[in-house]
Amino acid sequence: MEKLSELYPSHKDLVHSTLAARLNGFVKGFGSISGIKKEISQSDGSDSEKERLKEAVSSIKW
């Protein structure tokens, strides 16, 4: 949560984020971290924002 709260300033932003949905699915056994990173790479947004998201996902201890 600490890493994600750095990316999403409010709880509402985090709860309604696509990344939170994907990570919840991953925790329940759906998808993979590499798939989440690939989806981030293909999403809209700046390259720096995409890198921040991928770094956050990589740094979470699973």
Task: List all residues 6 or more positions away from 17 whose beta carbon is below 8 Å from its beta carbon.
Answer: 8
- What number is the average pLDDT over the span 34-47? 95
Nearest CA among 15, 10, 24, 30 for reference residue 60: 24
Nearest CA among 28, 3, 27, 7 for reference residue 16: 7
Write down the pLDDT at residue 55: 93
Vertex 43, ends 53 and 9: CA angle to 5°?
40
Instruction: Evaluate whether 4 touches 14 at the Cβ level (below 8 Å).
Output: yes
Please give the share of the chain, as a percent, with pLDDT higher than 70. 100
Write down the pLDDT at residue 2: 81
pTM for this structure?
Answer: 0.81
- What number is the average pLDDT over the span 34-57? 94
pLDDT tier, 40 (very low <50, low <70, confident <90, very high otherwise): very high
